[in-house]
Every structure is written in C-alpha cells, then in structure tokens.
Amino acid sequence: MIRIGIVGFGVVGQGFVELLISKKNEVSKMIGDFKVEFIADSKSSISGDFELDEALKLKKMTGRLKDDKKPQELVEDAEYDVLIECSVTKLEGGDALRYIKTALKKGSHVVTSNKGPLVAEFEELMKIAEKNDVKLMYEATVGAAIPVIRVAKGYLKTFTIKSVYGILNGTCNYILSRMEEEGLDFNQVLSEAVELGIAETDASYDIEGIDAAIKLVILANTVGIRAKFDEVYRKGISYITPEAFRIANEKDYTIRLVAEASKDKLSVAPRLVKKSHPLSIKGTMNVVVFKTEEAGELYLAGRGAGKYETASAMISDMVHIYAPSS
C-alpha cells in the first residue's frame, strides 16, 4: 500500500486529487494499491480516514479542510511514502523548501509542482534525495505536461546536450503573439490578458521574465549546467513596441521571449525569431528545444500551464517512481 501525503490544495492540488479519483483503477494497476493519508493547505488539513471526494467538496464549499493541523506538522509526523507538494511558488523557496527537505530526509519520495525550492537549492535537494535513496520529481515545474524533465533526465542521458532553449512563459507568449497578429500596443494586450485571467493583476513576475528565468534555472540544472537565478541575464517584454513587430515582420521575423542555457550563456530576453521557426509558436504555448550533438535539435511543445496539464504531469511522476520501466 503506497501512502500519499498532499501539501497545497489550490488549483493544482485539487486537480491532482480529481485525477487520482478518476484514474484510480489504472494507477492501481501500475503501482499497486494506494491511499491518501493527508491533505493540507496552508491553514487547514484532513487526515486519517476520509474520502477524497469529501475533501474536495469541503474545500470547494468552505474554502478550507476540517482540521487545524498545519502542513509542517503533518509532513513531520505523518507516515507517507510519497509527498505531493503543490503549494505556491516563492522564489526563495518558502515553507515548501522545508516540507520537501523534511520529507526527503524521512525517506519519502517527493513530487512537486513548486519551482521555488528547486530554484533556491537545486543541487542540495538532489543530494538529500540521493543520500536518502528517494526520488525528487518535478516535471510539473517546467512546461506543465510537456515531458521536458523526463526526456532530459531519462531519454537524453545518453546524448550530449549542448544547450537548451525555448519559450517558457505562456503569458508573455500570449501577449507577444497578439501584438504580432493585431498590431496592438503592449499595455492594451496586457490589460486584456489580465481580464481573461491569462495574466495576474501584478504581471511583473511574468512580463519581466522572472518566471521564465526560474524555469530556465531548473532546466539548466537538469541538463547538468550549474545555474543560479541571479546569474541569469534577464530582460522583460514591456518595452516592445508595435513598430518593432512591424520592422521584424518585413523580414519575416517575429519577436519572442526566449530563454537559453548553455555552458557559456544564461539568458531570458526578447529575440527575433524566424516566422517559420518552431519558436514562433502562438498563444500560451511553451516550447523547449534540446540542442544535441548526436541528433541536432529536438523540440517539445504544448500548453504551458493549466490545472490538469500540471496535475497530470504529477500523476505521471508519481507512477514513474514506482513503475519506471518501459
């Protein structure tokens, strides 16, 4: 019986539990029986004997779970084999960093969608996992369901990766593609994006390239390039004008926020991109390109965010821990 603990019960956490319910039979066939021992959000929790449906209903109707026990307490004291960590990303790691370390040191696997702890202490976390002979899985942190981490760490481990680059922020890509297509002004598209829920009211995290830089740091470390957030050269998209698109368009180019990591380069900045190039992808999509010595460039693309997009990556990560083969 695999015992699961869940910390973070917002959009992603709820998506994970919903998928766990709908995929119960398939997942059990792959990894054997499992049981969720506890679910905690930042202020409340549920543990012991409870139904997953009940927890979802409670959260949706009351905004909280039934007990006052805090996540740290459960992460420390409960018994579980794998911790599903989906609390909100904080650049310096936040409480989640402590949850993850506690779980790994107890000998539990961790599956996280939280970029903060990884960008803060990538190397240290990997060492703790290795030392305790457990896995720290984080597919959901970059490109939601696009299997960039799995491909980088698994399939490509026999390849020489010269660099990795791509479109890592869907909000910026949405804004830039609408500016390209409709000749609109940056601020106009941004305010529409906020209305549509594609951008946050404080959009600086996205439009200044912070989110893309965080993901780049995770990707870089994944392919063996030691990188820290402060080392990323970073330029946002707010100064880009409709004129810039017009000039680019004359030569069949467009403008995209491109993140790139290689041995000599760590950068997030707007770049001219040929309209026929896969990086010229439109809307909220993400693309990751691995430049390999053996096989040229390999492209992976898909939606960059979303409830089930992110949660389904975590389900796959969890199953992979127990059934890595094929």
Q: Which residues bind its own copies (CB under 8 A)?
A: 19, 23, 26-27, 30, 135, 144-147, 150-151, 153-159, 276, 278, 280-282, 292, 294-303, 306, 308-309, 311-313, 315-316, 319-320, 324-326
Instruction: Report the alpha-carbon angle 184-189-190, nearest 5.
Output: 145
In whole angstroms, give the CA distance from residue 272 to residue 260: 14
Q: CB-wise, 58 or 176, nearer to its own copies?
A: 176
Considering the complex, state which of residue 27 and residue 268 has its C-beta at the smaller distance from its own copies: 27
Q: 78 vs 110, which CB is nearer to its own copies? A: 110
Say which residue the tokens 């992976």 belong to: 300
> Does residue 139 contact residue 154 with C-beta atoms inside 8 Å?
no
Residue 133 CB, nearest distance to its own copies (Å)? Answer: 12
As a whole number of angstroms, the distance between CA 86 and CA 4 comes to 13
Is residue 29 among the annotated active site residues?
no
Give whole-number Cα distances, 219 to 51, 212, 259, 296, 297, in Å: 37, 10, 10, 18, 16
Q: How far is the CB of 127 from its own copies (least distance, A)?
A: 15
Q: What is the CA radius of gyration of the chain?
A: 20
Distance in Å, CB of 301 to its own copies, minimum: 4
Handedness of CA 27, 28, 34, 38 (dihedral sign): positive
Nearer to its own copies, 106 or 282 (CB): 282
The token pair at 76 is 């420390």
243 or 294, CB closer to its own copies? 294
Which residues face 60 on adjacent strands? none
Q: Which amino acid is at 51?
A: E
Token code pair at residue 4: 């699961």
CB nearer to its own copies: pick between 29 and 265: 29
Question: What are the residue ranges of helices labelled H in 154-292?
Answer: 170-182, 186-195, 204-207, 210-222, 242-250
Read off φ and ψ for residue 316, nearest 5 degrees: -65, -40
* CB of 318 vs its own copies, minimal distance in Å: 8
Amino acid of residue 298: L
| Candidate list 162, 215, 291, 307, residue with the active-site label | 215
- 257 near 237, Cβ under 8 Å? yes
Query: Three-state SS for 51?
Result: coil
Minimum CB–partner distance for residue 208 and its own copies (Å): 27
Nearest-approach distance from CB 308 to its own copies, in angstroms: 5
Relative to beta strand 233-234, strand 265-274 is parallel
Catalytic positions, written as ranges:
215
